[in-house]
Structure 1
Amino acid sequence: MEPAGNSRRCRPGTRLARAQYPGGADDARAAPASEGAANRPARVIRFCPECRGRVQPSFHFCPYCGGSLPAGDAPEDRGSREELAEAAADGPGLKKREAHLCQGDQRKKAKCSTPGPSPPPSPSKSLESFKEQTSPGLPGKGKAMSVSDSETALSKQRFSLKLDFKNGRLFHEQNFFQRAVKPKEVEKWKKSHFLPFLAIPTCISFGLHLGDYRFMVFPDLGRSLQAVLDERPGHVLSEKTAFHILLRLVDALEFIHDNEYVHGNVSTENIFVHPDTPSQVTLAGYSCVFRYCPGNKHVAYVERKRTPHQGTLEFISLDLHKGIDPSRRSDMQALGYCLLKWLYGALPWTSQLSDTLAVMRNKERFMNNVAELMRQSCGQRKPPEALKTYLNAAMALQYEEKPNYGMLETVLMAALKELRVEPYDSISLLTV
């Protein structure tokens, strides 16, 4: 005897209330359990044409394989619907089909649950640089994952995918790109400063995945400068290469500062060079970005306002060691520490990085004695005049003071001219 309400029983293996598909006679439709269910709007399910992982209709990139998704109601989507319709008619055969379609979901769950070594890359896709690190936004409570060098199936272009918890540090980075790095404004700023390019990446896409994860997609950034240094004899750069890179980064920081933000974590790990664009350098890693001047009003100098020592310990400014909100001088001083390490391979506190307070005391001691900082870094070698000028200018900045970008750029251009190179010539990775 059937229960009241004319509800229908399902044969094992069929899923009548799974999904409804609008369209022709070949579309699979769910059998409603009641009159109200029959009037519900149809829910479209899309699948990646490459890995068959289930994706949301609004996604432009597959979160499982990194491939580009077809726009709109692509033929691949209709094909998936027809396959589901056939599977529904076949009964028990649906389970095999579902297991195939859910492989993408299983791979995603495996990545997000327990950290482990990534599978070996397939010939068609490169996931070479998969790594996991503790989320700066949620210390000790989760993982922030980044997958770089993922190759799209359709255009054969390479992209960098950043993934973090919804409320993690990636939120600040997304907000920065939405507010300050608008393509038209970037082009306008470049033209007004007569620059051929700017060392800031372009965000291709961003959004939420499964409601709990935030992602951002960038063009392939190449190799970090730290990776290049690790392969160099003595882990150093030539003066020509170091000043080339420094000039481009001063341009980038000026743009960021003009838009009321500071980078907050300038380090060699966040600077990238690419073999396909040897004239370009990219400053990435905006998870510590901070709006220092909201509404054209500079934030106040307050110690222990934030967690001390945030950022890359070797390069962060003394302000960040003390828990003070970063200002423009924080970026300029961190870049000065980077320059010293590029030229001489180490800083006076490089061997003490396991002792946070010792690093802080060293930076405090050298803040008013730049000559001693250079002496201990350079050893018996004579430091170039451009290095002296930059360090003296950066260390003398007051908390709210605007750096003299024009003076620094003039000094660096003169140094490059003495080295017989143009300011925006290509940087050969063979000599980096």
Structure 2
Amino acid sequence: MAGRVKKVAPKKKGAGYKMPAPIPTGEVIKDTLFKKEWRIGPSIGVGGFGEIYSACDHTIKTKGSDYPYAIKIEPHENGPLFVEINFYLRNANKDDIAKFMQSKKLTSLGMPTFFGKGSHECNGVTYRYLVMERFGKDVWSLFNESGKSFQPATVFQLGLQMLDVLEYIHSRGYVHADLKGANMLLGLKKTAKNQVYLVDFGLATRLKEDQPFSPDPKNAHNGTIEYTSRDAHLGEPTMRGDLEILGYNMLHWLTGELPWEKAIKQPKTVQTMKETFMKSVRSSIKSQFPNVPDALIKFFEYINSMKPKEVPDYKKCRKLFEDFLKNEGKTKNSTLDFASNKSKSPKKRVNKIVVEDVVDGSDKESDEPVKVKQNGDVPKKRGRKPKVNPDLDTENKVPETEKEIKKKAKRKSSEPAVLVKVKKTRLNPVVTPPARTNHNNISTQTSLEKTRHSSRLNASRHVSFDSPISEIVGEKSKDSVSINSSGDIFDDSFTIKEVKVKPKRKLLSTEEVIVKRVVRKKVAPAVKKGRSWKDSATIVNGRSPPK
């Protein structure tokens, strides 16, 4: 004997609505009205009163991930989907939508169509469902992804598209009452990727055209509190209220915030703030959001001039938006750009700077700026002085390798240093180098050795390690000859070594700095036999020859 199927009680959520239990993937729903079968796919979203699944025609073979339809499902005890189904039955007919588009000369309209509806029982629970065309991302998700700020042109493009949909809904005798980014979906078809569709008609209300405006406390504050119109706060949704809701959305998309955002848990407080805001809407916007275009302010001012039951002047509203787009070089049909309106922070650039630093052996400090090469160019402006590591400035010490320098602390600033000042100072050697074989070094000889070799030493010039450098031996042309250089003493006495240095001082840049220094070799002055000082120039290195 087969056991009974245990019913799964729907979960409650929000304002007493029951959330449906998950429908298994592959479940087939039979539509008795349109005589079709729909196969349930993966869930694509959850609303305030039901769940939305992807779906496909069960009679047509499709790929595993190809689900061109969406099915909204809710337990029979709930009511919003019942309201939405009835709205679709009356207003989402393809022929009616085509006639409206033809009369307004529109190439597209963000009014969705439906493909089926009915009831379905699963695991002992009865559900109500609605089959619609499947759409893409919603505007609210795109708004969050862009850093809560749209380009002004995009905002007015969305405003124009929503004006068209609202005019169609109002012409059918309904108001939407819950227009927001989460209820605006991009089309998935290639021909509709630039079109936004208004969905979720769970709060759609039929207009009471023959009755005067009468607030209803029972229905007060219906909708999404951030955007609810002043009329809806009183419990009576209107056509001018739909325009006001659209205006609040556009203001939010432009500025990223609304003045009453922090009080949304207190509907009456929000209502009072909106009343105050709209009484002097121009001054309110200019004081809080000075960059808001004047076209949106005029749109709010027009809403303020309307009577509760008045039919909106859609042409006037469109002209405000179209004129703004024209000044921006855009139209309603231009490609929607959902990039952020906020300026991006500049990326850090790392440029190589070459600093030519020469130890000239003088005792005085120089304030002259050192030449800096940035990407091969020599700048003319002056900059800050770097802090040079003294361990790298010794004559007889091997400089650190590039890997050792990179391990040191990194500079945090990303500002490139254009010019660097370095004090030119004479630095004594760490130790006096030992005398080599056949090397006549006066500083290391004893008094006996000095006497023994005095005759031979007097026959030639002696140079100690403290001798001043008269000329920088650096990069120069091969053909150039200097009158201040001594061939017998200074040739091959110095080498140019390039070392990447990262100073300890925190500069305004994270750039790599290459310092060029002249390092003295540990070589002895060669004594050339058979050559007298008379054979050399009369003046050498700024000194007269010995007499």
**1:374 match:** 285
Change (3 A) 1:148 1:397: farther
Extract unaligned runs of 5+ from structure 2: 3-23, 342-547
> Which structure 2 residues correspond to residues 9-408 of structure 1 after superposition, within 5 A?
53=27, 55-56=29-30, 58=32, 60-62=36-38, 66=40, 126-127=42-43, 129-131=44-46, 133=48, 144-150=49-55, 154-155=61-62, 156-166=66-76, 168-210=79-121, 212-233=126-147, 235-274=148-187, 276=190, 277-293=192-208, 297-323=209-235, 325-378=236-289, 380-381=290-291, 383-408=292-317
Shift of 1:289: 0.4
SS in 2 for 1:218: strand
Shift of 1:209: 1.8
Following the alignment from structure 2 to structure 1, what is the Cα–Cα distance between the partners of residues 230 and 92? Answer: 28
Whether the 8 Å CA contact 1:292–1:327 is kept in 2: the answer is yes
Shift of 1:169: 1.1
Following the alignment from structure 2 to structure 1, what is the Cα–Cα distance between the partners of residues 325 and 244? Answer: 21
Whether the 8 Å CA contact 1:273–1:282 is kept in 2: the answer is yes
Whether the 8 Å CA contact 1:309–1:320 is kept in 2: the answer is yes
- Per-residue deviation, residues 263-317 of structure 1 (Å, max 9, x unmatched): 0111122112246533201111100001104xxx344322225321111000011
Whether the 8 Å CA contact 1:278–1:429 is kept in 2: the answer is no
Following the alignment from structure 2 to structure 1, what is the Cα–Cα distance between the partners of residues 25 and 74? Answer: 22
Root mean square deviation of aligned Cα? 2.6
Shift of 1:54: 6.3
After TM superposition, the structure 1 stretch with the greater mean CA deviation from structure 2, 341-350 or 212-221, is: 212-221
Bigger helix fraction: 1
Whether the 8 Å CA contact 1:336–1:394 is kept in 2: the answer is no
- Per-residue deviation, residues 71-90 of structure 1 (Å, max 9, x unmatched): xxxxxxxxxxxxxxxxxxxx
- Per-residue deviation, residues 23-42 of structure 1 (Å, max 9, x unmatched): xxxxxxxxxxxxxxxxxxxx
Following the alignment from structure 1 to structure 2, what is the Cα–Cα distance between the partners of residues 334 and 401? Answer: 16
TM-score by length of 2: 0.52
Shift of 1:163: 1.5
Shift of 1:52: 6.3
**1:78 match:** none
Shift of 1:165: 3.3
Shift of 1:344: 0.3
- Per-residue deviation, residues 300-357 of structure 1 (Å, max 9, x unmatched): 322225321111000011111122x211011010001001001000110012112222
Change (3 A) 1:237 1:375: same
Change (3 A) 1:179 1:54: closer
Following the alignment from structure 1 to structure 2, what is the Cα–Cα distance between the partners of residues 237 and 54? Answer: 41
Shift of 1:173: 1.1
Change (3 A) 1:304 1:376: farther
Change (3 A) 1:151 1:52: closer
Following the alignment from structure 1 to structure 2, what is the Cα–Cα distance between the partners of residues 150 and 249? Answer: 27
Change (3 A) 1:207 1:344: same
Following the alignment from structure 1 to structure 2, what is the Cα–Cα distance between the partners of residues 218 and 55? Answer: 14
Q: Is the radius of gyration larger for structure 1 or structure 2? A: 2
Extract unaligned runs of 5+ from structure 1: 1-11, 14-49, 68-125, 134-143
Following the alignment from structure 2 to structure 1, what is the Cα–Cα distance between the partners of residues 94 and 57? Answer: 23
Number of residue pairs matched by the alignment: 308
Paired AA for residue 195 in structure 2: Q
SS in 2 for 1:164: strand
Paired AA for residue 202 in structure 2: S
Following the alignment from structure 1 to structure 2, what is the Cα–Cα distance between the partners of residues 274 and 236? Answer: 21
Whether the 8 Å CA contact 1:346–1:377 is kept in 2: the answer is no
- Per-residue deviation, residues 369-415 of structure 1 (Å, max 9, x unmatched): 1113313541x42x212112211112322111111101111221121
- Per-residue deviation, residues 245-270 of structure 1 (Å, max 9, x unmatched): 10010011011111111101111221
Whether the 8 Å CA contact 1:317–1:334 is kept in 2: the answer is yes
